[in-house]
Structure 1
Amino acid sequence: MQKELKNLKIELKLELQSILSYWMENTVDQKRGGFIGQIDYNNNTNEEAEKGSVLNARLLWTFSAAYKISHNREHLDTAKRAFEYISIYFHDVEFGGIFWSINPDGTPKDTKNQIYALAFVIYGLSEYFSVTQDKKALEMAIDLYKKIQKYSYDPINGGYLEAFTRDWQPIEDLRLSEKDANEKKTMNTHLHIIEGYANLYKVWKNESLRKVIIELLETIEKYFINTETGHLRLFFDENWVEKKDVVSYGHDIEAAWLLLQCAKISEDSTLISRFKKHAIQIADATKEGIDTDGGLWYEYDPETQELMAEKHWWPQAELMIGYFTAWQLSGKQEYLDIVFKNWDFTQKYIIDKEKGEWFWGINSDYSKIKKDKAGFWKCPYHNSRACIELIHRI
C-alpha cells in the first residue's frame, strides 16, 4: 500500500503540473488582461466570451494553493494576475460587491451579487493572502465577508439568501444556472460560503467569524444533511421548506470531506466528532453512484428513478478526496480501493492526454461530452484541489 500511495503522489504531482501549465499556456488574455472566458472541447479559444467571476476566483485560489507545493514563481505570478484582475474589474467599488460577469474588455455585464461568487472570491483572496501577505487581499476578503453577513444572512430563520441586485436589493432570478431551482436557500451556496469563511479564518483569527462558521455548520447539519439517506437536500425557500430535487453525487462526496475540514478549522471538538460521522455516512451513501468502471455518475432523480447517465470531471476529483478522507477516518481498505479505481478511470477517460486539462466528462457509451475545456463553470479548481489535497495527505 505504501508503494501504491507513493506512486499515486508522483502521478498527482505530475497531473497538477499539467493542469497548471494548460491554464498558463492557453487561457492568459494577452490583449485585454486577465484570462480568456472560454475554450471549447476542441481547444478553440473564444476571445469574445464573457468572463465569469467564479472562474477568476477559482484561478486565484488554484494558483495560490499550488504555489505552496510547487514554489514555482510562474504560479505565483499567475495568482497575482488573477488577484489584480479581480480587484480592478470584478470588484464593485461603488456598492462593495462582485460582478457576476464582465465583458471581454473588462466592462460590467451581469452586475448582480450572487453570494456564491462572493464566497469564492473570499476563498481565493484568503489563499492568496496566505502566500503573499498582501494586506489589500485580506482587507477585500474581510469586506466581502461583512457584506454577506449584512445582506445575505437571514437573522430570523438562519442561513443565507442566494442573490441580490448590484445595490443589494431583492432580485427575482436567484439561480446559479438554468438547471437550478429558483429558491432562496441552496446547499451549493451554503457549502461554498462555509468553504470561503473557513479559509478566511485560517488567516484572520477573528472570534466572531469563528462563531459564524460554527453556526453555519450547525445550519448545514440541520437542514441540508439528510441523515436518513446520507444524501444532501439541495433547495429550500426562506422558511426552510424543502423543494424536492435530485441526488447530486458530486456535491454529496464534496460535502463529506469539506465540511469536516471546516469543522476542524473551527476547532469545535463536538462538531468535529459529528462531521466525522457525517463524512463516513455520506461516503457510504455515495457508493450507489459509483459505476463498475470506478467512475462516479452525475445525478439521480429518486422521484422518476432516472439516472443522469453522465460522468462529469469534477465529481471524480471530489470522490478522490472524499474516499481518501473516509479511509483516513476508518482505516477501511475498501475506501482507498475506490480512490485508486477512480483515479484509473479518470486517467483513462477524463484527462485529455493530448491537449491537456480534463474533458467535461463522458456519456454512458464513453463518448466525450462536447462542452467547455475552460469556461464559466469549467475551472481548474476541483481537479487541482484533488491533486493538492491528496499530495498533502499522502
Structure 2
Amino acid sequence: MPELFDQMQPFFDPRWLRRQIFETIDFYDPQCVDQKNGGFFHCYLDDGTVCDRTTKSLVGTARFIYLFSVGTMLGGPAHWKTIAKHGLRFLDEVMRDRINGGYYWQAEERQVSDDGKDTYGQAFVLLALATATKAGVAEAGPQIKELAQTITAHLWDDAQQLCVAKKSRNWHWTDPYRGQNPNMHLCEAMIAAYEAIGDRAYLETARTLARTVTITLAQQTGGLIWEQYDQNWRPDWVRRAEYAGNEFRLYGYVLGHSIEWSKLLTKIYAYTRESWLLARAKALYHQAWQRAKDDRYGGLIFSITPDGQPLDTYKYYWVMAEGLGASARLAAADPVQQRAYLDNYQWLFNYCWNHLIDHRYGAWYPKLTRSNLRTGYEKSPLNKTDYHPITNEQEAMHVFEKLVPDAL
C-alpha cells in the first residue's frame, strides 16, 4: 500500500490522470470480454475474477463501450477500439429491439430476460454510441439519430419536458414511477451526441432537461435535487418499500446527483454561455457539498432526508468521482472561487487515493462505510464498470490541460 498522499501529489497533472484512466481500464482488459456469448462479463471480485458469467446488463454493456472508447480517444492500445466494437455488436444482435425500437434492459447470455424499455438504459446506449463515434467507430454514428428519435417518440413527455422512467417492450404500458435520475443521464447523453455529430438539437434537448430538473423541479424541493416524483411530477416524499435496494429508484436528496448536475450544467454553459446555467451549477454544488462533506472521516456522504438529516452515510465511489469532475469544471468556469474548487478537488482526490482506489489490483472499491471500511469483496458489481471515475478523470484532464499553471 503506498504512503498516504500529501499536498505535493500530482492530482492536477493531465498525464498522471490519463495513466489513472488506463490503469482502471486495464483492470477489465481482457477478462471483461465474453468470447463465447458476446458482450461483456458484468461482475468482478477484488482481483478481477469474474463472479457472474451469464447476466448481461444494458447499462453495463453501454458503459464498457464508453470505457474502451474513451481509452481509444486518449491514445490507448489499438485493441481497445476492437473491444468497443465487440460491445456494439452485442447491443445490435441481442439487446436491440428491431421491431419496436429501443433496447432491452437485461439478458442472460444471449436470451433477453427483461424486455422493458428504461430511459436510463436508452440514455447510456446513446452515450455509448456518441462516445464510440468520437473514438472513430464509424458504424456507431448513424444509430445516434435513430435512438434519439425513438426516445423522443416513446419516452418523452412533452407537457412536462421530461422523459418517463420506463415503458413496456411495445411502448403501450407506462410505469407510474417518475424520477430525475434517468433524465440526468439523458442530459449527459444528449451533450455527448451533440459533441459527436454537431447537431445542435441535441444540445437544446440537454438544456431543456437541465432547466426542467434543476429549476422547475428543484423549486418544489428547496433547491436541491429530489429523486422520486408521482405521475404529475410532484415530489413523492414517501419512502416506498418496493424500491428498497433499487439503485435506479433512490430515495432522498442524493447529494452526489446535485453535484453531478452541477457538472452537466457547466458543460452546457461552455457551449451556450447562458448565465443561469453557471448560477445553478454553483448553487447546487455548494448546497450539496456543504451537506455531504464528512469532516470526521473524509469523503462525501450519500443522502439526506427531506428535513436535511443524514440518511445514508456510506461512501459510494461514484459520488466521490462526480465531486472530482464537478470541482474541476467549476474551477475553470468560475475564476472568482477557483481556489476553493481546486482545494475541494485536491481534498477529495486525496481521500479517494487513500481509501477508494485499489493500488494492488486496480479500479475503485464501490462502497465503504462512513468510517471507510469495506462492505464486501465484489470490486465491480453489475452496472459499475468504473464509468464514473473514468469520465470524471477525463473531465479533470481537459480542465488541467488548459488551466493556467499559476492557479495550481
User: If the length of structure 1 is used for normalisation, what is the TM-score?
Assistant: 0.88
| Separation of aligned partners in 2, 1:345 and 1:311 | 11
Q: CA deviation at 1:43?
A: 4.2
Alignment of 1:126 onto 2:111: no
- Which secondary structure state, in structure 1, belongs to the residue aligned with residue 378 of structure 2? coil
* Displacement of 1:11: 3.3
Indicate which of 223, 234, 240 corresponds to 1:241.
234
Partner of 1:179: none
Q: Deviations over 1:206-232 (max 9, x none)?
A: 354444334333322333334985421
CA 1:280/1:156 → structure 2, altered by over 3 Å: closer, same or farther?
closer
Q: CA deviation at 1:5?
A: 5.8
Q: Deviation digits for residues 154-207 of structure 1, max 9, x if unmatched? A: 133331111111111114xx4xxxxxxx623x1101111111112112233335
C-alpha distance in structure 2 between counterparts of 1:360 and 1:212, whole Å = 31
SS in 2 for 1:170: coil
User: Which segment drifts farther, 68-77 or 336-345?
Assistant: 68-77
Q: How does 1:206-285 map to 2 (within 5 A)?
A: 206-226=199-219, 229-244=222-237, 245-265=251-271, 267=272, 269-270=273-274, 273-285=275-287
Shift of 1:77: 1.8
CA-to-aligned-CA distance 1:62-121 (integer Å, 9 cap, x gap)? 2212222124312222212211221211111121110100112x1111010001101110
User: After the TM superposition, which of the residue ranges 35-44 and 304-313 deviates more from structure 2?
Assistant: 35-44
Question: 1:57: how far off?
Answer: 0.6
Residue of structure 2 equivalent to 1:153: 156
* 1:169 paired residue number: 172
Counterpart for residue 99 of structure 1: 104
Match of 1:203 in 2: 196
Structure 1 equivalent of residue 245 of structure 2: none
Q: Which one of the candidate residues 177, 185, 209 is aligned to 1:183?
A: 177
Aligned to 1:56: 61
Contact 2:186–2:206 (Cα < 8 Å) also in 1: no
Per-residue CA shift, 1:342-363, capped at 9, x if unaligned?
1111111111111211111210
318-327 or 152-161: bigger deviation? 152-161
**Structure 1: stretches of 5+ with no match in the other structure:** 175-181
Pairing 1:1-394 to 2, within 5 Å after superposition: 8-41=13-46, 43-104=48-109, 106-134=110-138, 136-171=139-174, 174=175, 183-184=177-178, 186-226=179-219, 229-244=222-237, 245-265=251-271, 267=272, 269-270=273-274, 273-287=275-289, 288-292=291-295, 293-303=297-307, 305-331=309-335, 332=337, 333-370=339-376, 372-394=378-400
CA distance in 1, matches of 2:51, 2:282: 42
- Partner SS, residue 225 of structure 1: helix
Q: CA 1:308 to 1:324, structure 2 compared with 1: closer, same or farther past 3 Å?
A: same
Contact 2:10/2:16, CA 8 A, preserved across alignment? no
Query: Measured at CA, do residues 327 and 260 of structure 1 come closer, stay the same or move farther in structure 2, by a change above 3 Å?
Result: closer
Q: Matched residues in 2 for 1:11 and 1:231: separation? A: 34
Q: Judging changes above 3 Å, is the alpha-carbon distance between structure 1 residues 68 and 280 closer, same or farther for their aligned structure 2 residues?
A: same
Distance 1:357 1:210, change over 3 A: closer
- The 3 A distance-change label for structure 1 pair 42 and 213 is closer
Counterparts in 2 of 1:262 and 1:58: CA distance versus 1, 3 Å: farther
What stretches of structure 2 of length at least 5 have no aligned partner?
1-6, 238-250, 401-408
Identity of aligned residues (%): 20
Q: 1:214 to 1:9 in 2, by over 3 A?
A: closer
Deviations 1:251-294 (A, max 9, x none): 111110112213434x3x43xx1111111111211222111244
Greater Cα offset, 72-81 or 276-285: 72-81
In structure 2, C-alpha distance between the alignment counterparts of 1:206 and 1:8, rounded to whole Å: 33
Distance 1:309 1:85 in 2: 37
Matched with 1:178 is none
> What is the identity, as a one-letter code, of the residue corresponding to 1:378?
K
How far the C-alpha of 1:304 sits from its partner, in A, is 7.7
Deviations 1:237-263 (A, max 9, x none): 232211135111111111101122134
TM-aligned CA deviation for residue 297 of structure 1? 1.0
Which residue of structure 2 lines up, in the alignment, with residue 177 of structure 1? none
Aligned to 2:244: none
CA 190–263 in structure 1, closer or farther in 2 if over 3 Å, else same: farther
| SS in structure 2 at match of 1:18 | helix
Contact (CA 8 Å) 1:123, 1:197: kept in 2 or not?
yes
Between 283-292 and 110-119, the greater mean CA deviation after superposition = 283-292
Q: Size of the alignment, in residue pairs?
A: 377
For residues 261 and 133 of structure 2, the distance between their equivalents in structure 1, rounded to whole angstroms, comes to 25
Determine helix, strand or coil for the equivalent of 1:98.
coil
- Structure 1 residues 76 and 242: CA distance shift in structure 2, 3 A: same
Deviation by residue 1:310-354 (Cα, 9 ceiling, x = unmatched):
101111110001112222233331221111111111111111111
CA contact (8 A) 2:34 2:41 kept: yes
Cα distance in 2 for partners of 1:282, 1:47 equals: 38
> 1:373 is paired with a residue of what secondary structure?
strand
* 1:63 partner letter: F
CA shift for structure 1 position 386: 1.5
CA distance in 2, matches of 1:160, 1:305: 30
| Root-mean-square deviation over aligned CA pairs | 2.3
AA aligned to 2:213 is I
